[in-house]
Chains A and B, each alone.
Chain A
C-alpha cells in the first residue's frame, strides 16, 4: 500500500513563481526523498532528508520535514517551464531498504 500522499494533486503556476508541494505519510521513517518524473521517463532523485533533519536545500529546491506531523514539503523557487513534471515523495519503512511512493503532484509551469 502507498505510504505517502502528495497535495495538491495538480498545480499550475506562471514561470518565475514559487511552487510548493506537500507530502504526508503514515508511519515512522528513517528518511524521506523527493523525485521528479517527466512524461514518459523514469523518476529522477532530487533530494533526501533524514528523519533528524528539519530542512535541506539544493539549488532552487527547499525541503522541510516535520516528523511530529508526519509531513514534508518541497518548495521550488523561481520556477521554469522545464520544471513541468510530476513530483513524488518516497518514504522508507521497516528495514529502511524499501521505498514507497506517494500519489504525486503534477506541476505545470506556464511560460
Chain B
C-alpha cells in the first residue's frame, strides 16, 4: 500500500498564476478530504468527497478555489488566480468509511510570491 500520494511536494509560483495540486487516495477508500495548514489558522478542512461526489465545500475560502474528483483514484485542488495569502501546506487525506481514521499524504507546500 503506497499510501496517499500528493504532488508536487513543493510549488513556488507568482501571484496571479494558476496552481493545481494533485492527490491519489488509497485504493478502496470512499472518502477524500482536502485540508490546508498554516501557523495562524492550523488545519482547516476545505472540502471532502464521498464516492467522487463533493459533499461539503463550505471550507473553501473563495471562488478562486475549486476541487474535482473525476474518478476514485484522483483529485485536484486548483487555485486561480493564486495570491500570497494562499501560501500554506495543503494536505489530502482519505478514509475507508465515514467516521474512520484519516490517512494523510505528505502535503504540498505552496509558496505564492
Q: Using CB atoms and an 8 Å cutoff, list the residues of chain A in contact with chain B.
A: 2, 30-31, 33, 35, 40-45, 48, 88, 90, 92, 95-104
CA distance A48 to B101 in the complex (A): 7
**A97 touches which of B35, B48, B104 (Cβ 8 Å):** B48
Interface residue range, chain B: 20 to 34
CA distance A33 to B33 in the complex (A): 16
Q: Are B55 and A102 in contact (CB under 8 A)?
A: no
Contacts A33-B101, A42-B91, A43-B102 given; does A101 touch B42 at CB 8 Å: yes
Q: Are B102 and A96 in contact (CB under 8 A)?
A: no
Q: Using CB atoms and an 8 Å cutoff, list the residues of chain B in contact with chain A.
A: 4, 31, 33, 35, 42-45, 48, 50, 55-56, 91, 93, 98-107
Q: Are B4 and A97 in contact (CB under 8 A)?
A: no
Contacts A41-B106, A42-B105, A42-B107 given; does A95 touch B98 at CB 8 Å: yes
